[in-house]
Structures are given as structure tokens and as C-alpha cells.
Amino acid sequence: MESHNTKYSNPTDEDYNINQDQAIVTRRIQRLSLHLNPVSEHPVFSDSLQLLTCAGRAKINVNVENLSKYMRGKHRDIQERVYEYFNARPDLQTPLEISKDAHRELCMRQLMGLVREAGIRPFKYVVEDPAKYFAIIEAVGSVDMSLGIKMGVQYSLWGGSVLNLGTKKHKDKYFEGIDNMEYPGCFAMTELHHGSNVQGLQTVATFDPLRDEFIIDTPNDGAIKWWIGNAAVHGKFATVFAKLMLPTHDTKGVSDMGVHAFIVPIRDMKTHEALPGIEIHDCGHKVGLNGVDNGALKFRSVRIPRDNLLNRFGGVSRDGKYTSSLPSINKRFAATLGELVGGRVGLAYSSVGVLKIAVTIAVRYSLLRQQFGPPKQPEISILDYQSQQHKLMPMLASTYAFHFATSHLVEKYSEMKKSHDEELVGDVHTLSAGLKAYVTSYTAKSLSTCREACGGHGYAAVNRFGSLRNDHDIFQTFEGDNTVLLQQVAAYLLKQYKEKFQGGTLTVTWNYLRESMNTYLSQPNPVTSRWEGEDHLRNPNFQLDAFRYRTSRLLQSVAVRLQKHSKTLGGFGAWNRCLNHLLTLAESHIESVILAKFIEAVRSCPDASSRAALKLVCDLYALDRIWNDIGTYRNVDYLAPNKAKAIHKLSEYLSFQVKNIARELVDGFELPDHVTRAPIGTQVAKEAYSQYTQYAGF
């Protein structure tokens, strides 16, 4: 059987010939036995036999403590502090039924309590130790997703814009007030008529050299700042993104220097009234995240000092001269947005946290709930049904895969903040865009699957799937619409593809393209395309090669299509004609990165039992993904029919094996009951129904 060591080798041609001979003999014996023993009219016997055969394989013994230690890493303690603070403060726990206004006030009290009472001050970690900051955000989001987003607005967006786009004078003036919550603020980028296209923003900031001030204006209703977190009720400042206009002496009158960021006070520090020229309205009740006070801002000739321009990438002197170390509007714009990728990193990481909660509740309930069974025998748990395993086990495997991939993203982001290496900046920008898009889309779908997998009890608000689904849904849109972000990944891949054929160097994350493109451009190996042995299919080299081959095939084919269509449709038209192909390419690449990081995590795990469990889960993740896109592999004969069938059978068997350790795997997330807060998902199974009935008044 499978040995769970950390060294893998490819089968030799001799191994292949032996395996093939054995496979042929086995198939012939099976055919003969079918002739001699026709299939019973009662398929229950063959199913029972299959279950007995599966049950005969040894279950992996998982040391949950070691697994959890490996998963949660060095920031476990700060997360425990968050959990313990809220567990000790029932008055700060979000009730099931709460109005929009009450939820907003509670959310603000939760944040103030965490910062001022619990002494957890996340702001300094935004730049100094991003991994610790994101660990805090994940824990806070587990308590209430609205609180996680409100904290992100305060520290990642409003605070992050001051730290990343401002200079020393801004940090000296605002750091302490942002840190201790005296300066609650907003991040005013999105407009009613513009979201993803930030360069198309219409709000203007015109420099007045006579008074040494900028004048902020909303030129039309389409330019009203919209969906601005913290604006409707609590914000006192806003980082406003606007086109910087400088007066000129020619006929144009003004020169557009591109989108810049400005600190604009929006409410009086004492009275909390809106300041002159600023109109603030409430965006109202939302599908979810109603603890966050999203508002709309309109500016009428609002004057701010010249020093309120966040001038790290471009400044204006007293006499109205513009200076920048970057030569063009596009370069400055790219640098500005590049400094704001932390929001995407945080959302990808937090989305995995949401998925952990949902899959934990669904798996625990599926182990608890019993339904039907063989005649005159006890009912079996619903997780013993193959259909339930098919819904939840690949999802559990994906949760682990995403955990390691987003942890890697956080490491790369932290490295980028220290080094400011240009190559790394591009790498992190693309990786954060891809992972944010892929993970949040997957989590959104999985939340509905988990609800369905828990039947009617999954529909009860107390069991959390409804609020998790509604609160998380917007993760697919804010900090970059997922479809737009995947196009950025595809564009970067095409850029790397061009580099490869022009002899340029590829950045580390993209090195695999050189080898896999060469493999793709040659014909699939007719020998390896037929190998179907379990050892081969569970070999990470085979799995990763398959993922990367698919990406290279998609990249090569879309490059050819774009070149062809651009001759008649132009660049934009060709891109639109190939858009679905480009999105598939981006997703394929991100899946390759996720698998590569999972394989690395398996190999790096120091504990043997945890490593064996992770290897099993990684194999399920890889083979389930290959099977889900089996048509692509069959179309180019990368996999022969017998191999495709073997992959399907093995992925079903691996789902069964993962089911056997599902309890230990979700326990490895180490989410206490006061964090999951779902009676049907309680750790102690025998208490689940008693807790649940208490909510109904029994």
C-alpha cells in the first residue's frame, strides 16, 4: 500500500511493463469472473463488498495537536487572545437577530474594546509584520465578519493608505490617532459610476496656488464616492482618490496629472457633524455585512491643505510645480495600486478562514447525523454516503490547499514590504489577484454546498451558513472584481510567455512555464499517458506536471488566437473574443500554484502522522481537480481512457479515506465552539442536539 514518506520517484520503463502486464492479467480475470458469476440484481451486495474492501485498508492515525501546531504556526497565541477576549465578553457577541443600526454600533464597540481593553493594536503590524496582522484579521473575522471588514477598513485601507502612499510627515501626524481609534477613517476610491476602472475616476482635486490648497469636487452624480466603509456613521477622515489638476498658462487652463490620494477630514472632531461642503448619505441595508456602515460622499469645493496630498509617488511644490521619481502617469498609477495589494492578500486569507468554519460545521454535523442503513441494522452517518463524501471531502482538501497557498502569499507579501524588489512586486500583485479571485469564488460556492449538505438544519440561522454566505458574498467583488482580477493574471502570463520566446528571464513563480511549455510543444508521451498504477497517480511529479501542462496548453493556444484575432478586431476586440479562454488560463495557473505550495507543505511537515494525512489530502485535491477537467486532458491525449477511469476511481477512494480522518482534519483547524458558534457543529457530538434544542426554548 501507499507509503507516506517524503521522497518520490518516477516509475521506470521496466516498472511500467510489469504494471501493464499485471493490469492486463487482472482485467482478463475480472472479465472471466463476470461470465462465471453474473452481477446480482441486487447491487447492494457489490456496494457492501466495496465498503468492506475499503474498510480493510488501515486508517491513518492523526496527531491532531501536531497537525494544528503545523497549520496555525507562530501566530496562534495572538489569535487565542482574540478568541478569549470575546468569549469573556458576552455583551460584545453579535446576537442572531439585530437591526442594521444596532449592529453598526456593536461593531464599533467590538473594535474599540479589542484595541483599548484587550490591548490588541494591529496597526503597527500592517507594515512591520503583515503575517501577524492577517492572523488577527482572520481571528476577528471569525468572531463577526463585519468586525473583520471594519477593522480592515480602519487599518489596511485608511491606515494603510497613509503608511504606504504618504511620507514621514503623514505618519507622524496620523499614526497614533489611527492606531488608538481616535481617527476612524475611510478609503474613498469607488464611485457610483466607476469601480474596477480606477483610472476612470471623475472626482477632481484642483490645486489653488494662491491659497496653497487643493479643492476637492464631485463634478457629477456618477462621481459620488459610493460603498465607502466607515463613512455613513463613524468616519472622521477619508483617503479620497481624485484626479490631480494643476493650473497651466496655456489654453487648456489645467493639466491632469492622474489619480492621486488625498487626506480629507469629513466630520468635525468634536461635534461629529459633516464638515462644510461635504454631503454624507447612508448606502442602507445590504445583503450582508450590515455591521459595516457603508456610505456615499459628495464634495462641493472642499478645501484641504497642500500637505494633505499623500505624496510618496508624486508631489506639488508651493509654486505649483509637480515632481515625481516616476516618469509617467501610468507608472505612478501602477506604483500607487501596487502598494494597496495588502487588501487583496487579506481577503484571500480571510476567505480561507470562512471556509474553515463552514467545512468544520458541515463535517461535524455529517458525522453526527444518521440516516437510513442496511436492513435491520443501525442507521449510518450521512458522511458514510458516497454522495456526501463527494460534496465535502474535496472541499476539505481544498481548504487545506488554500491555507498553505494563502500562507505562502502572506510570506511573499511580507518579503515584498521589506525588500521593495520590483520583480517581487509584480509577482505578488499577480498572485494576490489570482488567489483572491479563485479562493473567494470557491468559498462562495462552498458555503451553499455546506448549507445543502446539512439539510434543513443548515437552514437555521443559528447554524450560521446563512450569515456566513451573505457576509462573504461581497468578497468576490470588493478589492477588485474577480473577473477583472483573473484578466490581470492572464495578462501577466502572456507577458511572461512573450519573455520566454524573446530569451528574457522569468521570475521565480513562473519558471515552470519554461519547462512545461517545452513539454507541451512536444507530443504527449504515449507510454506515460497510459500508466494507471496508484503509486504513479499519487506521485506529486505526475500531478504537478499535469496541472502545468494544462496551463501551458491554454497559454500557447490563447496566444495564437489573440494574434490571429488582433489582425481583424484590434487588441481590445481580440481580448474580448478570447475572454473566457483567458479566464480559464488564469484559473489553471492559480490551481498549479496552489498544488505546488501544497506539495511543498507536505514535504516540509516535520511530524510523520501529520505528513501522511496531508499527503492523502493533497492527492485528493490534485486528482479531483484533474478529474473535474478530464475533457481537456482527453482532448489532447494527455491521458488515455483507462488512465482517466483510474483517476476517477482513485479520487473516489481517496474521498473515502479522507472521510475516515475528517474529524481529525477539521479539529486541526483548532476552532473552538465559541468561534464556530453553530450547535450542529459542536466539537462534542453528544451535546449538539441539546444545545440546538435550547435555542428553540426546550
Instruction: Select from 203, 320, 209, 210 the least CA-distant residue to 262.
Output: 203
Mean pLDDT, residues 649-662 taken together = 96
Cross-strand pairs, 185: 237
- Closest residue by Cα to residue 486 from 546, 553, 554, 568: 554
Q: Per the residue annotation, which of 479, 587, 652, 670 is the catalytic one?
A: 479
- What is the pLDDT, as a whole number, of residue 338? 76
- What is residue 493's three-state secondary structure? helix
Phi/psi for 380 (5° steps) reads: -110, 160
pLDDT at 81 over 90: yes
Q: What are phi and psi of 3, to 5 degrees?
A: -100, 135
Q: Tell me the residue length of the chain.
A: 698
Question: 365: burial class by Cβ within 10 Å (0-12, 13-18, 19+)?
Answer: buried
Residue with the bigger pLDDT between 418 and 473: it is 473
Residue 229 annotated as binding?
yes
State the Rg of the chain over Cα: 28
Q: How many CB atoms lie within 10 A of CB 260?
A: 23
Q: Over range 566-573, report the average pLDDT.
A: 94
What pLDDT does residue 142 have? 93
Is residue 325 predicted with pLDDT exceeding 70?
yes
- pLDDT of 26 reads 46
Are 365 and 454 within 8 A, CB to CB?
yes
Using DSSP's 3-state secondary structure scheme, residue 213 falls into strand
Which of 335-339, 424-428, 547-551 has the largest mean confidence? 547-551
Give the residue from 231, 158, 230, 218 showing the smallest Cα distance to 192: 218
Q: Is 301 exposed, middle or buried (0-12, 13-18, 19+ CB in 10 A)?
A: exposed
Give 194's DSSP letter.
-
252 pLDDT higher than 80: no
Q: Which ranges constitute the DSSP H helices of 502-640?
A: 512-521, 534-537, 540-577, 579-604, 608-628, 630-635
DSSP symbol at 310: -
- The pLDDT > 70 percentage for the chain reads 87
Three cell numbers written together for 258: 492622474
| End-to-end Cα separation, the chain, in angstroms | 50
- What's the pLDDT at 508? 52
* Rounded Cα distance, 251 and 242, in Å: 23
Question: What confidence tier does 690 reach under pLDDT thresholds 50, 70, 90?
Answer: confident
- pLDDT higher than 80, residue 62: yes
Q: What is the side-by-side order of every strand in the sheet holding 295-299? A: 225-228, 295-299, 278-282
The pLDDT value recorded for residue 29 is 40
190 is annotated as contributing to ligand binding:
yes
pLDDT for res 432: 96
**Coil, helix or strand for 426?**
helix
User: 3-state DSSP call for residue 406?
Assistant: helix
Q: What residues pair up with 323 in beta bridges, in sequence order?
A: 315
pLDDT confidence of residue 520: 56
Q: pLDDT by residue (tens digit) across 334-351? A: 888 777 788 999 999 999
- For 340, phi then psi, to 5°, come to -105, 10
- Give 632 or 658, the one with higher predicted confidence: 658
What percent of the chain is modeled with pLDDT above 90? 73
Is residue 501 very low, low, confident or very high in pLDDT (cuts 50, 70, 90)? low
Is the CB of residue 306 less than 8 Å from the CB of residue 214? yes
| Residue 315, helix vs strand vs coil | strand
Q: Is 479 a catalytic site residue?
A: yes
pLDDT tops 50 at residue 44: no
Which pLDDT value is given to residue 30? Answer: 42
CA geometry: angle 149, 151, 154, nearest 5 deg: 110
User: What is the pLDDT, as a whole number, of residue 519?
Assistant: 60
The position carrying cell 447612508 is 282
CB atoms within 10 A of CB 372: 9
The partner residues of 241 in beta bridges, in order of sequence, read: 261
pTM of the predicted structure, to 2 decimals = 0.87
| pLDDT at residue 14 in the model | 40
pLDDT at 504 over 60: no
pLDDT given for residue 509 in this prediction: 52
How buried is 516 (Cβ within 10 angstroms: 0-12 exposed, 13-18 middle, 19+ buried)? buried
| Residue indicated by cell numbers 482485467 | 27
The average confidence (pLDDT) of the chain is 87
Write out pLDDT tens, residues 604-632: 999 999 999 999 999 999 999 999 999 98
Q: Cell for 195?
A: 469601480
pLDDT for res 224: 97
Average pLDDT, integer, range 73-84:
92
For 268, the grid coordinates are 468635525
Handedness of CA 346, 352, 353, 358 (dihedral sign): positive
pLDDT value of position 253? 77
Q: Tens digit of pLDDT for each residue in 254-311?
A: 899 999 999 999 999 999 999 999 999 999 999 999 999 999 999 999 999 999 999 9
pLDDT value of position 424: 84
Full DSSP string of 105-162: HHHHHHHHIIIIIS----TTHHHH-HHHHHHHHHHHHHH-HHHHHHHHIIIIIIIHHH
The predicted pLDDT at position 249 comes to 76
Confidence tier at 11 by pLDDT (50, 70, 90)? very low
The pLDDT score that the predictor gives to residue 532 is 79
Residue 51: the pLDDT is 29
Highest mean pLDDT out of 30-44, 164-178, 315-329? 164-178
